[in-house]
Amino acid sequence: MWLRRAFTRWLFPAAVVLPLWLLIGWGVFQAGGWAFLWVLFIAIPSVLIGQVAMTLLVRARPSVRESGAVSWLDVAGFTVWHVLVIAVGCFIEAWFPLLLTAAIVAGLGMLWLSLRQLRREMSGVVAAGFAQSGFPPSGASDTGFARPGEVLIVTDAPVDDERPRPESDRPGSSTDRSSGGSDRPRFDDGL
């Protein structure tokens, strides 16, 4: 459990440390000018935005908020992705294309895993909320559509509306609006 909690605390600092490692790795391993442009304009923003997005997705899950620990799948996925990003930052010329491709695939896989786990947990929370609130009512259709033969009547106001109307709105009153005494249009409902 301590490892999973430590990983939870590591996720936000990793959004700064990993892009910084790419920049430091470029300088230490003397990768060249074009690699510097790649690091500056593509790698650093991609790792930063990807890590922050995945961290927010993981931290949004109810189980992570309750326990303060990520799942073992998260630990495995983030470990693979972080190790690959660190390896890309070493700029080993013979392995660079393979490591970069693997890091991109691992990052996309981790994003998918985070979304999948969040969706699974949130569907359970939403279903529990609906069951607790009694919605939809028992016997209602699950599709959201009316069943064949079922008639739905939607009214704007109750039929037995007994609200008192102002004197000017009553039929036959001396201040009938049809004479142009009001800016508001008069609607005749035929009653």
| pLDDT tens string 143-158 | 667 777 888 777 776 6
- The answer to whether residue 159 scores a pLDDT higher than 70 is no
Which of 63, 51, 65 lies closest to 110 in space, CA to CA?
51
Q: Which of 33-47, 53-67, 95-109, 168-182 has the lowest mean pLDDT?
A: 168-182
Nearest-Å Rg of the Cα atoms of the chain is 31
Q: What count of Cα atoms within 13 Å lies in the side-chain half-sphere of residue 20?
A: 5
| pLDDT tens string 84-114 | 999 999 999 999 999 999 999 999 999 999 9
Write down the pLDDT at residue 78: 97
Mean pLDDT, the chain, rounded, equals 84
Write down the pLDDT at residue 94: 94
| pLDDT tens string 108-136 | 999 999 999 999 998 877 777 767 766 55
What is the average per-residue pLDDT within 49-53?
A: 97
Count of CB atoms within 10 A of residue 12's CB? 14
Q: Which is higher by pLDDT, 27 or 149?
A: 27
